[in-house]
Amino acid sequence: MQAGCRLPLRPPRLGRAAIARRRGANSSISCRAIERAPPDGAIAQVIATTRAYLDHNATTPVRPAVAEAMSRALAMPGNPSSVHAEGRAARGAIEIAREQVAALCGAKPSDIVFTSGGTEANATILRPGLSDCSGARDCVRAPVSLLLYSASEHPCVRDGHHFPAGQAEAIPVDQNGTADLAWLEARLARLAAEQPGWRALVSLHLANNETGVIQPVTEAAVIARRFGALVHSDAVQAAGKIPLDIEALGVDVLTLSAHKLGGPKGVGAIVFRTGALELADKPLRGGGQERGWRAGTENLPGIVGFGVAAHEAGQALAGEATRLAALRDRLESGILALAPGTAIFGAQAPRLPNTSAFATPGVQAETALIMLDLAGIGLSSGSACSSGKVKRSHVLSAMGVDPAMSAGALRASLGWTTCEADIAQFLAAYAKALAANPNRRAQAAA
């Protein structure tokens, strides 16, 4: 018999004992271990020197246990929809992952629908015609026809929804980036009075991707309920960073993305509070996978990786939140010591423990990012780049931040690979960037 002619049929070992063993093995990994991984091809130049990666809100490095589980899943030959042993093994691996993702957000496994990411999950839900049903043949409530979303939502919500222009409105935010619930209540009351046949869908992200500001989702859900509105929350940035319980939040549906919590890119989830939501015209139809919400053969390795990432993030949540908050506070105090005029955006509101958005007067974000990158620091700007042009952050604009200040906005976001040495490396590099900044020198001379 030729070597390798038999394919492994057993599913990835994803049980609690195996995961616990992996966590024990990973717990001693130093914060620099990811840079010491053997370089391969084009990435060798990037990791030739020790770098501080402070861009976890953009994507979090894949956890070692996730990579290992995905490698095993890649070797599984079966289609999860097939009834033979190979297919059943693949299906079993997916259902384990479904349980793990459900556990992260207090949901039932049967109410998890896997997608290709957070953007697809949001685009699927944010459509006219979404309704809740009694469980009988016909829906007992009217479908939604008006979308109300916060002005600081991610672009995939602001620009990716499928409501007509006249049926989508932005909820204002205050100077801290917190949604104006008085405005929301007044708008829902006006809708009930002026258009009694209409029903709203309120979309309020749990935490902002730029500033880390945590939104009053539970309070918004209480208001929405009084007017019969449905509630969606994009929890992509919050999952794995703060406790997440869909029942406690009171929303009808959450959306998630694996690569924000140490899982792979290209896989996300829709999380329903109950099985009562329905959408007559689902965007992807075909084989009926994922309870008919998302047709197409499931991304087995990605889903398995998502499950392990959700489990690991959930297990480490309490300790990591405390650890990362301390590192974030150290970073911010260090920045303020270097440049006392620096603004920390959203600092007066509840924030994610890992996120800091700031701007120093006289510093341009694009210049600072280049200098920091050359110094071995990876982080992001609060401004969005499009076609080579830097545009003002819509989040900071909604918060009323001065355009000159928002032009210098930077975001540092920490995660499981971050340690004190990364913060010290950043502060040393930022001090040099400030010293080399001609605008800062001119201000000091004046």
Catalytically active residues, by annotation: 385
The alpha carbon of residue 289 and the mean position of all alpha carbons in its chain are separated, in whole angstroms, by: 24
Cβ proximity of 324 and 353 under 8 Å: yes
Q: Which amino acid is at 404?
A: A
Cβ proximity of 131 and 278 under 8 Å: yes
* Integer Cα distance of 439 and 359 in angstroms: 14
- Return the percent helix, strand and coil in the chain, to nearest 5: 40, 15, 45
**Burial annotation 46-67 (CB, 10 A radius, 16+ → b, else e):** ebeeebbbbbbbebbbbbbbbe
Tell me phi and psi for residue 227, to 5 degrees: -110, 15
Tell me phi and psi for residue 33, to 5 degrees: -60, -35
Report CA-CA distances (Å) from 87 to 79, 106, 189, 362.
Answer: 5, 28, 51, 60
Q: Which two tokens stand for residue 421?
A: 């040495």
DSSP state of 203: E
Instruction: Report the chain's C-alpha Rg in angstroms.
Output: 23
Q: Which two tokens stand for residue 286?
A: 């075909």
Q: Which two tokens stand for residue 392?
A: 């003002």
Q: Which two tokens stand for residue 265?
A: 């890119």
